[in-house]
Chain A
Amino acid sequence: MRDTTDQTGPMMAADGTPLKTSLNRALRRQKLRALALIAPLLIFILVTFIAPIADMLFRSVENQIVSDTLPRTTTLLADWEGDSGEIPSPEVFKALYTDIFVAQERKLHTRLGSRLNYELTGVSSLFRKSGRRVEDMGEVYQDQFEDLNDFWKDSETWNALMGSDDWLAEQAAWDDKSDARQPAFEPREEIINLLPQTAETFEIFADFVQNEDEDNLAKEDPWALVYSALYDDLIQEPDISGYGGPGSAELLEAMAAVRTFETVDYTAAFQDIDKDWHDIEVWQTIQTYSPDFTSGYFLNAVDMKKSPDGPEMRPENEQIYIKLFIRTLFMSLVITGSCILLGYPVAWLLANLPARTANLLMILVLLPFWTSLLVRTSAWKVMLQQQGVVNDTLVWLGIVADGGRLALINNQTGTIIAMTHILLPFMILPLYSVMKTIPPSYLRAAKSLGATNWTAFWRVYFPQSVPGIGAGSILVFILAIGYYITPELVGGTTGTFISNRIAYHISSSLNWGLAAALGAILLALVLALYWAYDKIVGIDNVKLGG
């Protein structure tokens, strides 16, 4: 028999394959089965927990709305120097006209307005107003072209001019009533070369009609924007002598006529809509928020803002979030502390009373879980209000004067009282399960060694219950720091948490980016505290039982 320990190199299995490979093969089935068992939960967590968190974190820096809605403007604006004190060049205004025209057709300009309004008040109405009036600017050219020749009035003739022959044939064959898809618009090659701006805007228009409105392109008159582009192309006097396709004669005629056309000064026209368009600050805001990603939401979440000179603090009267964060942390700590103070004796009783009495007490501890959170919180409103049970009792006992009733609700006191009550079981249960494992013989041993009751408790019992305090505190603190409904109901204005602000931005102001940034900071804060706890106390020192 060969001694396997004599071999050099990797250990071999009986069939000559390396032992590692053979072991891995043998374990693979087990691993796969284990994975299959946890797969449903894993997928569930990925879809409902990890993905939303990732999406939220992404939203806090995402800012594509500006460059998506105003692509031409933001590109041109990159070269503009805001410090010069001069408004951007006419080209920028022209680009702005194109962008806003397209955006208002797609009804995106108001969304952009709301987004930029977070950074500069008034932008929202500026965009809404401009969206309404921008059509008028294009109609100047539209009217003149249409007066010149009926050719420019008709959607059929426009299509014949702009579309490729193949597409025109397909479009003619397509039955409007049938279920078949409308043939996608294809531009005519020669026109792209001769009239680039017209071709580009017409394509946007065609794409919008066919894909977003789902109308028949043959029956839709072009946007006024297309006429403006046609004017811009023709005023350049392109060489159209070589073009012989449909509408060549009308093009020649129009090119001769445009020199006499009444023109539009976009810079002035925008000032006409709203004089804010000549305000440097509006343009600086647009320029600052042009990049696809921004730190603006995070700066906003810590009471700072972007300025041309880099981040700076907001004015004193606009600073709220840092104060709210500090208040949330402070109040969560106070709540955790009062839960320890109130929960420790109860947990001790639970762990040391005879089983029958302890069970009854345990039911009392768990009772709150059987009652709706809303009901419990509302009960505190009844208890704590100025004309409530507590105040009435204090007045009746003569402890406070009738005129000097205590303000116990709609402030920090209310939030702390109600949340301590609601979170108390989360402190008692881990404490109880840890205390249950401490044998009473330790206290007896300490006493037999000469320790007084207090020394025995403090030196022997308490250190062994610390893991329970740790577990309970982490549980209560993390629950408290993100609590929403109780502060909302009993917190008034001074007792609300950062989560109430997040909820406000999610559901009322619809500033999801800021909500996401606040949430991300809260998450980072909790993780940082968890890390600090691990460093100071050690996370091994946390026990939920056994």
Chain B
Amino acid sequence: MHPVSFFVLELRQSVRKTAGYNGEPRLADTTTGDAFVEFERVQKSYDGETLVVKDLNLSMPKGEFLTMLGPSGSGKTTCLMMLAGFETATHGDIRLAGQSINNIPPHKRGIGMVFQNYALFPHMTVAENLSFPLEVRKMGKSDREAKIKRALDMVQMGAFAGRRPSQLSGGQQQRIALARALVFEPELVLMDEPLGALDKQLRETLQFEITNLAHDLGITVVYVTHDQTEALTMSDRVAVFDDGRIQQLAPPDQLYEAPENSFVAQFIGENNTLEGVVKEIKGETALVELDDGELIDAKPVNVARAGERTRVSIRPERVEYKKERLSPDAHTLKAEVLEFIYMGDIFRTRLRVAGREDFIMKCRNAPDQTRLKPGEQLEIGWLPQDCRALDA
């Protein structure tokens, strides 16, 4: 039994619950009207010349774990700061539980926040750090102590109450920061790249703990990161940011398998891109003529009519070269093996396809799988629905 789930059992009795959680990953219900956090036509500019956030619309139900993912400078941290109240929106409305919070100062919003560098107060002990939000709420001493103890136990740091932050490791500091953001029982918690400074293994452990805690406490979380794995493994929904806009807002599996534009397709996971022109669109299938004249089938996603330029995107693991796995009428492409990389669980093969030398094919390491050699000639293909024709 994982320690977190053990503490969670304890917490079930004590913590105010808003939504039942049955242990299964769930999709937030986005169709209901009772949004908890709402951004409506929000714009932000720092210098009055360029917009950092352009026309942001976002609606989150209570209890959702939403991740804002995007390259640096895409506006995701600005959104978080506007929600926390450290930046004011230049235009638009931000609502929390139906109430506009544009003019509410940060300390009255009751939003918990975990910072990138933890921001634990270095001159206070762990217990004093946790006591701080309770003291400013004028809570009695015995209440405070009980809550601090519960919060520390929740992150398995009960033995560290008397330490100073500087005496803790990065992972421990992160747990304390989390406990401090949760100790005053906020309904909304914001996390700004909280795991950025930790090593891979610790990061994975904490990712798991944070998601479990969030779901067990029933809190709503807005999580900012630039690490796509983190976004995919932790979130109910991911908002991919670029150029001050949400490019796609979807659950992780949809985001990966059905990217709506070529930015999302490029940004999430590994992707092969081929460029060409749409020849014709027949229902769910588009015929695309690649730049070197070859023809392929693709699923039209945001191309509307024949003659448009398009970028075709195929995931490396959906590429097949064995005839028996492809449908007989599928279009195939000639490919030459350039490089074969053994990666343990998978084989990664780099191919020359349609004049490009960066085409990647991934095959599962299975008993029937052959190890290709550089120079081999292949015919590759895929199911039409795995090949998405996106904007150029």
Contacts and interface: CB of A to CB of B under 8 A. Distances in A.
A441 B184 contact: no
Interface in B243-283: none
A448 B111 contact: yes
Contact of A463 (B107, B115, B123, B136): B123
A453 B115 CA distance: 19
A449 B180 contact: yes
A459 interface: yes
Interface in B176-203: 180-181, 184, 190
A447 B113 CA distance: 10
Nearest to B123: A463
12 contacts: A445-B119, A448-B84, A448-B109, A448-B111, A449-B113, A449-B180, A449-B181, A450-B107, A450-B184, A451-B107, A451-B132, A459-B132
A439 interface: yes
Contacts of A526: none
A450 B136 contact: yes
Interface in B106-139: 106-113, 115-117, 119, 121-123, 132-133, 136-137
Contacts of A444: 84, 86, 106, 113, 115, 119
Contacts of B86: 444, 447
B123 A464 contact: yes
B137 A439 contact: no
A446 interface: yes
Contacts of B122: 464
Given A447-B107, A448-B107, A449-B180, A439 B132 contact: no
Contact residues on A (Cβ < 8 Å of other chain), bracket: 10 to 19
B132 to A, nearest CB: 6
A474 B242 CA distance: 52
A454 to B, nearest CB: 10
A61 to B, nearest CB: 46
Given A444-B115, A450-B107, A463-B123, 18 more contacts: A439-B117, A441-B115, A442-B119, A444-B113, A445-B115, A447-B106, A447-B107, A448-B109, A448-B113, A449-B107, A449-B133, A449-B180, A449-B184, A450-B137, A450-B184, A451-B132, A459-B132, A460-B132
Interface in A164-220: none
A446 B107 CA distance: 8
A-B CB proximity, top 4 nearest: A449-B133, A445-B119, A448-B113, A441-B119
Nearest to A462: B123
A180 to B, nearest CB: 79
Interface string A235-267: 000000000000000000000000000000000
Contact of B117 (A441, A452, A455, A464): A441
Interface of B: 84-86, 105-113, 115-117, 119, 121-123, 132-133, 136-137, 180-181, 184, 190
Contacts, number: 67
A546 to B, nearest CB: 14
Contacts of A446: 121, 132
Interface of A: 439, 441-442, 444-453, 455-456, 459-460, 463-464
A451 B108 CA distance: 8
A446 B84 CA distance: 12
Contacts of B108: 450
Contacts of A451: 107, 132-133, 136
A444 to B, nearest CB: 6
Nearest to A463: B123
B133 to A, nearest CB: 4
Given A450-B184, A451-B132, A459-B132, A445 B113 contact: yes
Nearest to B111: A448
A533 B279 CA distance: 84
A456 B107 CA distance: 10
Contacts of A453: 107
Contacts of B115: 441, 444-445
A442 B120 CA distance: 7
B319 to A, nearest CB: 45
A450 B119 contact: no
B146 to A, nearest CB: 18
Contacts of B119: 439, 441-442, 444-445
Contacts of B121: 442, 445-446, 460, 464
A445 B173 CA distance: 14
Contacts of B107: 447-453, 456
B170 to A, nearest CB: 16
Nearest to B109: A448
A464 B111 CA distance: 25
B302 to A, nearest CB: 39
